[in-house]
Amino acid sequence: MNALPLLLDQPVSAWGLPPDQPYREKQIRTWVLQRFVSSYEEMTDLSLPLRTSLASRFRLRAAEPVTIQGSEDTTRKFLWKLGDGSYVESVLIPATQGLEGNRSSRLTLCVSSQVGCAYGCRFCASGIDGWRRNLTAAEIIGQVLEASRIAGRRPDNLVFMGMGEPLANLPNLLPALDLLISPSNLGMGARHVTISTSGLAPQIEELAYHPLQFRLALSLHAASDAIRDKIMPVNKRYPLDRLLEACDVFVRAKKKQIFFEYILLAGINDSPEQATLLAQHARRLFAKVNLIPYNKVEGLPYERPSEEAIHLFCRTLLKAGVRATIRREKGHDIDAACGQLRLRQEMKQPEPT
């Protein structure tokens, strides 16, 4: 069965609506994209036969919440169940901006792009069980609509940094983004969408020539091949020289700053030498560096560096003229490392026979 949200990007003739009732399209769009309803029964200005007909042909929800951790004014983490019984996660992060008296609260949603992940970064919970499948465009959109329903409004920013490697699922990600960005649909600005990658160089180049102005975040996590090879197997396929060349192409084509994401792992990638090398890469690409002190993942051997080591690393970058910030994950207490909620849920499931 097709998912209704996907139809919103198609001519209304594809919806099978009565031809003499063009206003129905607007009503349905409003229910799905502004009121984020979770059932056809809630579309009270549609006739019962039309609701029944839509329900028999189009699934309204592609992701349903199983657990929600956190509260309204803090980071909230959602575990979604998909149509085939798989689980993925999203995280909704509030940030208050502006001066006193003029404060606004912005919402950022971190979205998953695959069930599991094939890239096996050693420090990440999402890759522990390997890759199961790509999310469909409807399932990507479904996370945004469901989170919007729970929050009471759509997020201001989307970051594709949840479970999976987004650039390995471009055939589903790009149609989903077209719909989320289209002003007649959810109207997210492309500039408010950040796509992260563990380092798929050819797809970075493909994205460089995409007409929309997405932001790119490179999950670098080590500044030399010797260390990156050890913690990110993707580096063997696209070593740093090749990867940074692809980033050059992106920066030249888009004329936009890119971001380096760098998880700090004690004794692995937090040395002054790594900081110096990282500064060289960042200066070459005018990249901003987000340092992320590691959140312990149960069963993995990595540790968070001391506060002193974290600040020393950051100071080295700043002294070298690089824009760098230490990002404190808001959600230590709610399994904030991506993939942990899903692993726990799957451990509760009976073994397949």
Q: Which residues bind ligand SF4 (CB under 6 A)?
A: 117, 119-121, 124, 126-127, 163-165, 198, 219
Burial state string for 20-42 with b = 16 or more CB within 10 A and e = fewer than 16: eeeebbebbbebbbeebbeebee
Closest approach of ligand SF4 to the CB of residue 222, in Å: 12
Pairing of strands 324-326, 87-97: unpaired
Tell me whether residue 83 or residue 233 sits nearer to ligand SF4 (CB atom). 233
Tell me whether residue 126 or residue 269 sits nearer to ligand SF4 (CB atom). 126
Virtual torsion, Cα 109, 110, 116, 117, nearest 10 deg: 150
How far the first Cα of the chain sits from its last, in Å, is: 27
Which of 110, 338, 346, 351 is catalytic? The answer is: 338
Pairing of strands 87-97, 104-110: antiparallel
Tell me whether residue 70 or residue 127 sits nearer to ligand SF4 (CB atom). 127
Tell me whether residue 54 or residue 128 sits nearer to ligand SF4 (CB atom). 128
**Token reading at 310:** 């974290």
Closest approach of ligand SF4 to the CB of residue 232, in Å: 7
Mapped onto helix, strand or coil, the DSSP state of residue 169 is: helix
Closest approach of ligand SF4 to the CB of residue 198, in Å: 4
Q: Among 11, 47, 13, which Cα is nearest to 27's?
A: 47
Rounded Cα distance between 112 and 143, Å, is 8
Gyration radius (Cα) of the chain, Å:
21
Q: In 70-186, which ranges are E strands?
A: 76-82, 87-97, 104-110, 114-116, 131-134, 157-160
Query: Phi then psi for 319, rounded to 5 degrees?
Result: -60, -30
Tell me whether residue 118 or residue 309 sits nearer to ligand SF4 (CB atom). 118
Which of 41, 64, 89, 139 is catalytic? The answer is: 89
Tell me whether residue 166 or residue 305 sits nearer to ligand SF4 (CB atom). 166
In what helix (H) or strand (E) does residue 23 lie, and over which residues does it extend?
helix 23-29
Rounded Cα distance between 92 and 107, Å, is 7
Closest approach of ligand SF4 to the CB of residue 13, in Å: 39
User: How many Å separate Cα 259 from the centre of its chain?
Assistant: 14
Closest approach of ligand SF4 to the CB of residue 164, in Å: 6
Rounded Cα distance between 124 and 122, Å, is 6
Closest approach of ligand SF4 to the CB of residue 110, in Å: 11
Tell me whether residue 144 or residue 292 sits nearer to ligand SF4 (CB atom). 292
Active site residue 89: yes
**Token reading at 169:** 């699922």
Active site residue 117: no
Rounded Cα distance between 91 and 157, Å, is 12
Closest approach of ligand SF4 to the CB of residue 52, in Å: 40
Which residues participate in catalysis according to the annotation?
A: 89, 338
